[in-house]
Amino acid sequence: MGTKFKKFISSTVDFHEFKNAVEIASGLGYGIEISRFGKLRELDSHFDATLGEYKAVLADFEGEIALHGFFSNLSVASKDPLIREVSRRRYAQSFELACELGAKTVIFHTCLNNLLKHKEYQTSFFVSNIEFYKEFIGQFEREGIVATIENVHEPTPDWIRTLISAVNSPNLKAMLDVGHTNLHSPLSPSDWVRDWGIMLHHMHIHNNFGDEDAHTSLTNGSTDYLALFKTINEMQLRPSITFEIFNKDALLESVRYFDEVMENA
């Protein structure tokens, strides 16, 4: 399959120094995924100023832009109306930032607490998310932006697949974080890919040994990336990819490894 993957690096690569991350992405000829926008404790008082700073850094950037939406402590399905209100505000700000910065892919977490095994919680959380995304996704459809749902603590792909199917929008897709599957899922990343199929729009790639979310080099962990990309190629899928690696040297090592081994696995 001749089509190459569309590749990004995460802005986390140099301790959240956004300007440095953009320079690294530009040097590689990759896009940039904005992983964190400013500082949460200053978000509302410095939103416009921070947006201006990000726009200035991106002014001459020729690569594509993706955006990780806000997620810290959010729940659009909370029983507490004030938490729901704040969560909706942060999601709306994520959409606003995507429009302002020209991002065409936005990543959201499910924010599902998988430790709560109560059936009532699981059902209520799922129904509330369907209702929210059915309302929220219309903005993305109008602007031609794809919202994606990332696995974090989910052990299987079912929850995200069923949510996307229920909302039934071409602008709501799945996002596979491979490192998270290694931590929280008994299934291989290839199993997730086979389950989601064409729902898969974007991926975060990094590695670990199943004990912590280390975000290290593709070669430094227990994930079998060769098997994963063989599956992706066999299924003729081409999700965009973000190297979500926190150390510059580990990032560059992963880029070399990917280009040598993974592109045509």
Q: What is the pLDDT of residues 202-216, one digit of tens each?
A: 999 999 999 999 999
* Sign of the alpha-carbon dihedral angle for 226, 231, 234, 238: negative
Q: Is residue 159 within 8 Å of 110, Cβ to Cβ?
A: yes
pLDDT for res 87? 98
pLDDT for res 3? 72
In 3D, which of 178, 153, 169, 162 has the Cα closest to residue 231? 178
pLDDT for res 263? 84
Cα separation of the two ends of the chain: 10
* Sign of the alpha-carbon dihedral angle for 112, 210, 226, 248: positive
Rounded to whole angstroms, how far apart are CA atoms 201 and 5?
Answer: 11
Rounded to whole angstroms, how far apart are CA atoms 216 and 187?
Answer: 21
pLDDT for res 2? 52
Identify any residues that bridge with 108 across adjacent strands, giving them in sequence order: 149
In the chain, domain spans: 71-262
Across all residues in the chain, what is the average pLDDT? 96
Structure tokens at 219: 């070669």
**H or E segment to which residue 142 belongs:** helix 119-143
Is 50 exceeded by the pLDDT of residue 58? Answer: yes
What DSSP line would sit under 54-110, residue for residue?
HHHHHTT--S-EEEEPP-TT--TT-SSHHHHHHHHHHHHHHHHHHHHHT-SEEEEE-
Structure tokens at 161: 């697949």
pLDDT tens by residue, 109-122: 999 988 888 889 88
Q: CATH number of the domain at 71-262, out of 3.20.20.150, 3.90.1010.10, 3.30.1330.10, 1.10.3210.10?
A: 3.20.20.150
Contacts with 192 (C-beta within 8 Å, 6 or more apart), sequence order: 151, 157, 176, 181, 185
Rounded to whole angstroms, how far apart are CA atoms 265 and 256?
Answer: 14
Mean pLDDT of 13-41: 94
| More confidently predicted of 32 and 262 | 32
Contacts with 79 (C-beta within 8 Å, 6 or more apart), sequence order: 124
Rounded to whole angstroms, how far apart are CA atoms 145 and 172?
Answer: 9
- pLDDT more than 90, % of the chain: 92
Is 50 exceeded by the pLDDT of residue 261? Answer: yes
Is 60 exceeded by the pLDDT of residue 1? Answer: no
Q: Which pairs with CB-CB distance under 8 Å and at least 24 residues apart come from 256-264?
A: 257/217, 257/218, 257/219, 258/7, 258/205, 258/218, 261/225, 261/226, 262/218, 262/225, 262/226, 262/229, 263/4, 263/5, 263/229, 264/1, 264/233
